[in-house]
């Protein structure tokens, strides 16, 4: 998993708690990387799971809630780092449809070793998008937060429903 995922997570912990919390969770997790992440490096995705579990224990905030808040925060950072991917889309739903067919394709060109999920999309109605998320990393809550971040970015009134499937999770985004 790319270092940006980790540096943004630790940045969020520092913003919501403080630098001591960052140091404490890194120390408690005994990570193979030692917690020294660079944006372009690649690290085991289980390190983020370990850091989030440790933060949950220390803060009393449930792991799914932490991952979702993190996903929303991460979207803001990704959109700021790669504005061309976000500005091209004319609407929230066309943007989300393009995550699989355009954005993550471009990400893969930049970082051939990126570990990306797959999305299957369907538009059952012009104002509705169904996205099936599949990933061996099962970061459904991060995905939920990334969709929330996208909704906030496009300033669109929309709801998110989530439905577990046998081999993934379906997100239904409905614009009001």
- Decide: is 6 part of the binding site for ligand HEM (CB under 6 A): no
Contact status, residue 8 vs residue 73, Cβ threshold 8 Å: yes
Contact status, residue 1 vs residue 45, Cβ threshold 8 Å: yes
Helix, strand, or coil (residue 40) = coil
- Decide: is 48 part of the binding site for ligand HEM (CB under 6 A): no
Q: Print the binding letters for residues 132-151 with ligand HEM: x by CB under 6 A, - otherwise.
A: ---x-x-x--xx--xx--x-
- Decide: is 99 part of the binding site for ligand HEM (CB under 6 A): yes
Stretch that binds ligand HEM, among 14-22, 25-33, 110-118, 155-163 (CB under 6 A): 110-118
Contact status, residue 159 vs residue 173, Cβ threshold 8 Å: yes
Taking residue 77's Cβ as centre, other Cβ atoms within 10 Å add up to 16
- Decide: is 98 part of the binding site for ligand HEM (CB under 6 A): no
Taking residue 76's Cβ as centre, other Cβ atoms within 10 Å add up to 13
Contact footprint for ligand HEM (CB under 6 A): 1-2, 5, 78-79, 82, 85-86, 96, 99, 103-104, 107, 114-117, 135, 137, 139, 142-143, 146-147, 150
């Amino acid at each position: 998993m790319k270092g940006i995922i980790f540096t943004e997570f630790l940045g969020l912990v520092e913003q919501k708690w403080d630098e001591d919390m960052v140091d404490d969770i890194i120390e408690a997790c005994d990570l193979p990387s030692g917690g020294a992440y660079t944006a372009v490096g690649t690290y085991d995705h289980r390190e983020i799971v370990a850091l989030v579990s440790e933060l949950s224990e220390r803060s009393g905030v449930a792991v799914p809630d932490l991952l979702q808040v993190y996903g929303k925060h991460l979207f803001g950072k990704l959109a700021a780092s790669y504005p061309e991917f976000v500005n091209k889309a004319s609407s929230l739903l066309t943007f989300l449809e393009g995550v699989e067919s355009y954005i993550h394709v471009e990400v893969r060109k930049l970082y051939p070793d990126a570990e990306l999920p797959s999305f299957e999309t369907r538009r059952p109605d012009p104002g509705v998008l169904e996205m099936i998320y599949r990933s061996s990393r099962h970061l459904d809550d991060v995905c939920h937060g990334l969709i929330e971040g996208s909704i906030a970015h496009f300033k669109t009134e929309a709801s998110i429903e989530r439905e577990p499937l046998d081999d993934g999770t379906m997100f239904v985004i409905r614009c009001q």
